[in-house]
Amino acid sequence: MRIVAFLKKTFLENLREWKILSVTLVFAPFFVYLMHAYFAASTPSYRLLVVRHDRSAGAGDLAAEGLVAAWRAVRHPDGQPAFIVKEVVDVSAAQELVKRREAELVVEIPAGFGQSLLDFREGRSTSPARLVNHGDEANVRSSMAMAYSDYVAHLWAVGVTGASFPLELDVRGLGTGRPVSDFDLYVPALLVLAVIMVMFTAAASLVREVEKGTMTRLVLSPLRTGELLAAVTLNQLVIGLVALTLTFLAALTVGYRTDGSLPAVLVVGAVATLGVVALSVGVAAFMSTMFELLTVGCFPFFILMFFSESMIPLPRITLFRLLGHTVYANDVLPTSLAVRALGRILNFGAGLPDVAFEVIGATLLAAVYLAVGSWLFTRRHVAVA
């Protein structure tokens, strides 16, 4: 009953602190829309400038048009074009655009291009048709555009001439077959970002008692420290799952789809929330006012946000292997394990047994951090109250 009473108290106080609660709930959904807009704008569509020297009637014109159409037809999994093709006349002006990085590549289709293909197909010539690429070797996007456009041109030419490659490639897919965009890969990190925001509401529930001086009365009351922390944890668990759900719904509104198990997502989200609450108890141990929490407390928040890969990917620093799994340096954070588990569940169809290593690891880390944080909080705020 004491836990229920304090749970109700902290819940009502979170509602009164509606500004902090609102930011906690809408922060990650806002980033869902922001990152969706970013990835939509940064889809790697290469700007391809085509200079056609073969303007004679007949096969030449048709061949050049067919090749240009092949470039325009290539699409990314999200439906965006791989090439933005523009036909130009002046080679020098097009080269200047590549130098200024206003375009990635210039391709010249020489005179007699179509006739060369026709002669090669009919066996009248063994010389292949020729394209001229103008790219910036210092620009990675230019090199990628050249490789991609050459690949498309080779496939198109093979189809037109009936020629065969001297090398046969046997491609065997290992994925689920469902196209996964860059934004799709980012959604699990945004879900964990929603949970990380609970750090502020969880720590605030404790720091508020210290700042108001009510910690002394709580110590003198029958309420034990463990019951206080249990009530705060249960309250924040609800907030964390609500924030995660709102973020997931926001992702659905911009087209995100998954075949993953939603109960598994909630389990991983709950474990991640427990880990964040555990870290929040340790943060609250070193804070005495809400001002300190909202200023100095931002530092551990940013550590969680960046080193859990909720904002940017990090280099993989391997520490060791355990039970067939690689343990990385940032896996000391339970939220890092949660990002990996959610990614496998949502985007690659893994079930809860498939991510048992990450879930158990995050749970153990949460228990360790909660034990350390409880000891620090009791020592600094409860024992001296």
* Alpha carbon distance 206, 210 (integer Å): 7
pLDDT given for residue 221 in this prediction:
60
Sequence ranges of the domains in the chain: 2-39+180-382, 44-161
- Kindly provide the residue ranges of all beta strands, DSSP E only, lying in the chain, ordered along the sequence: 46-52, 83-88, 105-109, 132-135, 318-322, 325-328
Q: How far apart are CA 86 and CA 51, in angstroms?
A: 9
Residue-level pLDDT at 60: 46
DSSP letter at 351 equals -
- Answer whether CATH 3.30.70 is correct for domain 44-161: no
pLDDT reported for residue 50 = 92
What's the pTM value of the predicted model, to 2 decimals? 0.75
Q: How far apart are CA 31 and CA 39, in angstroms?
A: 12
Tally Cβ neighbours within 10 Å of residue 90.
10
Q: How high is the mean pLDDT in each 10-residue block of the chain (385 residues)? A: 66 74 85 84 82 62 82 82 89 90 90 80 75 89 90 86 73 65 86 91 81 62 68 86 94 88 92 93 84 82 84 80 86 91 89 91 93 85 57
